Amino acid sequence: MKAVILAGGQGKRLRPLTEYTPKPLIKIGGKPIIYHQIEWLKSHGITDIILCVGYLKEKFLDEIGSGRKFGINVAYIVEDEALGTGGALKNASHVLRDEECFYVINGDIITNLNLKVMKEKLDDDVVGVIAAYPLPSPYGIIDVDENNRVVSFKEKPLLMKYWINAGVYLFKPSIFSFLPDKGDIEVTTFRKLAEMKLLKVVFYKDIFWKSIDTYKDIEEAERLLSKLSKS
C-alpha cells in the first residue's frame, strides 16, 4: 500500500525559517517533521511513499533521496507551479490509479493515530475516509456555577464537541475525478463529496496530533513530544 505526503507548500507563516527550508524538513524534537511521518508510516507497514514537492524541491532530494536509508521506497511528483493540495494530488494520479486505495498526509502534521482503523471504515459506497481530531482550544476554559463563581479552570483543553480535519486521508482512485487541476482539496473536493455523502470520518481521541503552522506550534510540539517520550 502507498502513502502520499503533500509537501509542496511554501510555509509562509513560518518565515524566515522556511526561506531556505521547506516546512516538512523543519526539525521538531531533533528531527524533521517528515522523519516523524516516515517512522509512523513504517510502523503501519507502509514503505512505498510518494512525495508531492514543489517549493525547494531539491532540499527533499538531498535529505530523503531514494528513501533507502530509511528502509523505504520514495518517488517524487514535482509541481512546476503551485497547484494546491487538490491539484498536487491529481498531479500524482498516474502512479496511483491502479491502487485499491492509498493514504494521503499533509506534510506539516505529526501524529501517531492508527491508520488501520481508517482502512476498516472504507466502505464500498464512499470515495474516502477522513481522520478527525477534537478541536484544541487556544485558550484556557473557565467553568462557573450558578452564582458565577469559578469552579474550575482548564488550560487549553480539547473541545470534544467540535472536530477538525486532521490532515490524514484514505482514498480510492475514484477521488481523481473530483480533484481540481489547481486548488485545495479542502475547499473544493471535500465540499462536493460532503454534499454527495461520499466521505466517512474516523474520530480519534486519545492520540498524539499536532499541526505545525506557526512558531508557537513548533514550541508546543516540542513540549508535547517531550512529554510523550517520558510517559
**pLDDT tens profile 2-15:** 999 999 888 888 88
pLDDT band at residue 231 under the 50/70/90 scheme: low
Do the domain assignments include residue 160?
no
User: What is the per-residue pLDDT for 102?
Assistant: 97
Q: Which domain holds residue 176?
A: 2-134+165-230
Active-site residues, by number, are 156
User: What is the per-residue pLDDT for 27?
Assistant: 94
| DSSP-derived pairing of the beta strands 128-136 and 158-171 | antiparallel
Q: What does the pLDDT average to over 207-219?
A: 90
Contacts of residue 120, Cβ cutoff 8 Å, sequence gap at least 6: none
CA–CA distance from 169 to each of 42, 54, 98 (Å)? 16, 21, 18
Do the domain assignments include residue 13?
yes
**Residue 132 confidence (pLDDT) above 70:** yes
Q: Do the Cβ atoms of 155 and 140 come closer than 8 Å?
A: yes
pLDDT band at residue 155 under the 50/70/90 scheme: confident
Which has the higher per-residue pLDDT, 151 or 25?
25
pLDDT band at residue 72 under the 50/70/90 scheme: very high
Q: How many domains does the chain have?
A: 1
Q: What does the pLDDT average to over 120-130?
A: 93
Specify the CATH number for the domain of residue 226.
3.90.550.10
Do the domain assignments include residue 151?
no
Do the domain assignments include residue 153?
no
Among 200, 187, 203, smallest CA distance to 132 is for 203
Q: Report how far residue 131's alpha carbon sits from residue 183's, in angstroms, rounded to the nearest whole number.
A: 21
Across 82-224, where does the E strand assignment appear?
102-106, 109-111, 128-136, 141-144, 150-154, 158-171, 199-203, 209-211
User: What is the per-residue pLDDT for 167?
Assistant: 95
Do the domain assignments include residue 155?
no
pLDDT band at residue 140 under the 50/70/90 scheme: confident
Do the domain assignments include residue 66?
yes
CA–CA distance from 142 to each of 134, 157, 201 (Å)? 18, 11, 30
Do the domain assignments include residue 185?
yes
Do the domain assignments include residue 156?
no
